[in-house]
Structure 1
Amino acid sequence: MNLPSPIQTYFDADRRSDGVALIHAFSPDAVVRDEGRSHAGHQAIDAWWHDVKTRYRHVIEPLEVARNGDFAKVRARVAGQFPGSPAMLTFAFRLEGDQITGLEIGA
């Protein structure tokens, strides 16, 4: 599967539990929406990611991607310590250049 560079960086960094590399995939004003909450900017995204990684100990396996201009939707199998694991989730990315400006995670 050929993922855009910042999206590949996001999934690779998550797999390695590398929060520093993961944050660098995002623009400074990026927004992540997950579990009904929004997290804006590097500091909030970093706090969100560390919280969910600690709570769920998840592993993400990207399975398919659909691109439309600056938008990409990735379907992925997510396994971890949560009810219903593993789950199929959609990671909807908005890109600008070589950075992620938005990410919405849902079913």
Structure 2
Amino acid sequence: MTDFEITTYMAAQNARDVDAAMACYAPDAVVTDDGHTYRGTDEIRGWLAGAAKEYTYTTEPVSTTRLDDEHYDVVQHLEGDFPGGVVDLHYRFTLRGSSIAELTIEP
């Protein structure tokens, strides 16, 4: 996965396009968000689908940093009807080949 493909994933997630976002994950991927860990495509798909319905929000990309060939840190600014209403979140990607192996989302 390259910078472009990470951008493609972020666009799919922001558009709440679960199928397009899922196409970016490895079958054994792990996502950690809001203190919960989701393992494998079934759990990640459920997390993505639930997140799409729970809150209304807008996103604005702030930065993308390539740490090395496998690790990227993407910062997104979110505003919406979730608790607190405004947050900058780090999306910390670990890649395996052209797929997301791990994603941690945290402030």
TM-score by length of structure 2 reads 0.89
Deviations 1:21-61 (A, max 9, x none): 00001111100001111001111001001111111223332
Structure 2 gap segments, 5+ residues each:
none
Deviations 1:41-97 (A, max 9, x none): 111001001111111223332210111221001111012221222211111010112
TM-score by length of structure 1 reads 0.89
- After TM superposition, the structure 1 = structure 2 runs for residues 67-106 of structure 1, keeping only pairs within 5 Å, are 67-69=66-68, 70-106=70-106
Aligned partner of residue 84 in structure 2, secondary structure: coil
Q: Is the 8 A contact 1:11 1:60 kept in 2?
A: no
Give the counterpart letter for 1:83 in structure 2.
P
Distance 1:5 1:93, change over 3 A: same
Aligned partner of residue 9 in structure 1, secondary structure: helix
- After TM superposition, the structure 1 = structure 2 runs for residues 37-56 of structure 1, keeping only pairs within 5 Å, are 37-56=36-55
Structure 1 gap segments, 5+ residues each:
none
Q: Is the 8 A contact 1:6 1:100 kept in 2?
A: no
Which whole-Å CA distance do the structure 2 matches of 1:28 and 1:58 have between them? Answer: 28
User: Between the two proteins, what is the percent identity of the paired residues?
Assistant: 30
**1:4 corresponds to:** 3
Are 2:16 and 1:17 aligned?
yes
